[in-house]
Amino acid sequence: MAENNPNGYHTAIFAGGCFWCMVHPFDAWPGVLRVVSGYTGGHKENPTYEEVCSHTTGHREAVRITFDPEIITYAQLVDIFWHQVDPTDAGGQFHDRGDSYQTAIYYTTEAQRIEAQASKMALDQSHRFASPIVTEVLPAGPFYEAEAYHQDFYKTNQAHYARYRRGSGRDSFIAYHWDRD
């Protein structure tokens, strides 16, 4: 699981519900080199979108982020993640329900595990949310890239993406819990 990139880049993997909504928040940050939509955490090799949505593969929709730790830290990425999800919802995210939409932080190193657990505990103890934090911190396993039409959806389908985000309730949730700081 150790980072093994000759350029010194690292990988972070987050499941935050619909992967369409998880790309843009990370893509906008300096030091984030690539954000890929995909599937992880399940038992079927090379699952398709339809298979994952059937909730029979055990996979969650997720994003794999390649980042330069000299420019953006893993702790900053975890913080960005918390600001994009409802970490108290064990049944999915916003109007997307089921296992494939559950949140998780998948660590690739022991240092990431420790940092993610500490961040989760601090968020829980902050009482920002009325319910406990249920987002799991799990070891990373195989990550399967989603189909091409899912990649960079916010860029290729801007109007649909904007309607989806608004309609899902994600934007209003984020505004209520985070934008009032």
Which residues form the catalytic set? Answer: 18
Q: How many other β-carbons are positioned within 10 Å of the β-carbon of residue 52?
A: 25
Contact of 8 with 69, CB cutoff 8 Å: yes
Contact of 31 with 71, CB cutoff 8 Å: yes
Q: Is 123 helix (H, G, I), strand (E, B) or coil?
A: helix
Supply 126's token pair: 């902050």
As a whole number of angstroms, the distance between CA 16 and CA 95 comes to: 13
Distances in Å between the alpha carbon of 76 and those of 32, 67, 102, 116?
Answer: 11, 11, 21, 11
